[in-house]
Amino acid sequence: MKELLKKLTEVYGPSGNEGPVLHILQKELKGHVDSMKIDVLGNLIVTKGRGKPRVMLAAHADEIGVAVTHIDKNGFLRFTNVGGLRPVNMLGHRVRFQNGTLGTIGEEKRDSLKDELKLEKMYIDIGARDKAEAAKRVAVGDMGCFVQPFVDTGSRLIAKAFDDRVGCAIVVEALKRMRKPACSIFAVFTAQEEVGVRGARTAAYGIKPDVAVAVDITGTGDTPESRTMAVGLGKGPAIKVMDGGMLASPQVKEALIAAAKRLRIPYQLEVLIGGTTDAWGIQVTLEGIPSGVISIPTRYAHTPSEMVDARDVENCVRLLVEYVRSL
């Protein structure tokens, strides 16, 4: 599974440009599922099994990134954010565009280091000597994402875009382990979560599931002087109670807790202040779709170096498989 995590986190795939991620997922899932299709918004929808209920699993394929807004006469690129990007996490980092063009991020002179860092005062330098040279490699509207290698420290893993490629990997692994599911599984690797939970909503409308579970990352409260959050790395999958957008449906939350207890794996209950997941968009669709979330505790979310615990990831897979089996 670490192989897959490495592939998925190192690949390029900002919102609206999920193609390369879906390509890996399709190759990985071949022979393990009944059908695969990509819909108009770019969601990869995979089905497995027949029967009731119809359960939707969602993990988003996109990641945060940058979009070029201007190429200046010296070939520097001005940019805007794609999703929740914090300027402070960007300085000195590298970004890559779909065609492989690499650039480093710099900033205009700041009068005082106390001044707030702003995206408008930053730029991407792709090493072009002038506008004409830059324009051969990038165009306005092109999107880039961070570049960072996947690192395995033994118990913990560091990479960019664990949000939410770790969720994608968990769903893939769970699909492989569920050999003959008794219900209809619709696994959706959703598009455009980071820009406002867009793909999940249209996918849910099309699928009309009876119940849905999103698999996504959450923050932790176990780092020095961090927020007061009960979730920590290595303490098991987090089962969402509430986040910045939604309250998880009680029946899904309870079923997930029951599944974790049956497996005798550790689990944590999660109340996240700020932020939300695909489940928020799915829950409000149609007559309301009972939705819950299995969250992977993740440090340093939305930075180029997000960290997860390998045992948590494995336990998330087991929890998802057990939950679906019990439906």
Partner 1 sequence: MNKNAEMLKRLTTPGGVSGFESPAAQAAAREFKPLADTVQHDRNGSVVATKFATSRKRGKKAPLLLIDAHVDEIGLIVTRIEDDGMLRIAQIGGFDQRVLPSQEVIVHARRPLRGIIGSKPVHLLTPEERAAVDKLEDLYVDVGLPASSVRRLVQVGDYMSMAPWFHELRNGFYAGKAMDDRTGVAAQILMLEALKGRQHTWDVACVAATQEEYGGYGASTCAFRLAPDAAIALDVTQGQAPGLSEDETFPMGKGPCIAVGPNIHPGIYDRLCKAAKAEELPYSIEPVPGVTGTDAGPIQVTRHGVPTGLVSIPLRYMHTSVETVAMLDIERTGRLLARFVVDMEGPEKLRE
Partner 2 sequence: MQLLRQLSETHGVAGNEKAVRDLIWSEIKTRVDSKEVDAMGNLIVTKKGRKSRPRIMLAAHMDEVGLMVVNIDKQGMLKFRAVGGLDERALLSKHVLVGKDKTPGVIGAKPVHLIWRREEEMKRPPKTDELHIDIGASSKEDAEKQVKIGDYAMFDTEYASLGPTIKGKAFDDRIGCALLVELLKKPLPVTVHAAFTVQEEVGLRGARIAAFRIEPDIAIVLEGTAAGDFPEKRDLSKAAMIGKGPVITIMDRTVICDRKLVDLAIACAKKARIPFQLKRPGVGGTDAGRIHMTKAGSRTLVISVACRYVHSPASIASKADIRNAGRLVSAVLKAL
| Residues labelled catalytic | 193
The option from partner 1, partner 2, none interacting with 270 (CB < 5 to 8 A, set by class) reads: partner 1
Helix axes 310-325, 250-263, angle to 10 degrees: 110
The DSSP letter of residue 261 is H
Q: Is 229 among the residues that bind partner 1 (CB under 8 A)?
A: yes
CA 323 to chain centre: 21
CB of 191 to partner 1, least distance (A): 22
Checking DSSP bridges between strand 65-71 and strand 54-60, what pairing results, if any? Answer: unpaired
Q: Rule CB under 8 A: choose which of 241, 263, 301, 310 binds partner 1.
A: 241
What CA–CA distance (Å, rounded) separates 83 from 277?
13
What is residue 116's three-state secondary structure? coil
User: Residues 246, 279: contact at Cβ < 8 Å?
Assistant: yes
User: Residues 19, 27: contact at Cβ < 8 Å?
Assistant: no
Q: Is 206 among the residues that bind partner 2 (CB under 8 A)?
A: yes
CA-based radius of gyration for the chain: 20
**Looking only at residues 235 through 264 of this chain, which bind partner 2 when binding is defined by CB under 8 A?**
none
Q: Rule CB under 8 A: choose which of 31, 100, 141, 224 binds partner 2.
A: 141
Stretch of 160-168, 195-203, 213-221, 243-251 lying at the interface with partner 2 (CB under 8 A): 195-203
CB of 299 to partner 1, least distance (A): 17
What CA–CA distance (Å, rounded) separates 12 from 153?
23
Q: Rule CB under 8 A: choose which of 73, 109, 129, 179 binds partner 2.
A: 73
Neighbours of 210 (CB within 10 A): 15
Residues that bind partner 1 (CB under 8 A): 221, 227-230, 241-242, 245-247, 250, 253, 268-271, 273, 280, 283-284, 286-288, 290
- What are the residues binding partner 2 (CB under 8 A)? 15-16, 39-41, 67-70, 72-73, 78, 80-82, 120, 140-141, 192, 195-196, 198-199, 201-203, 205-206
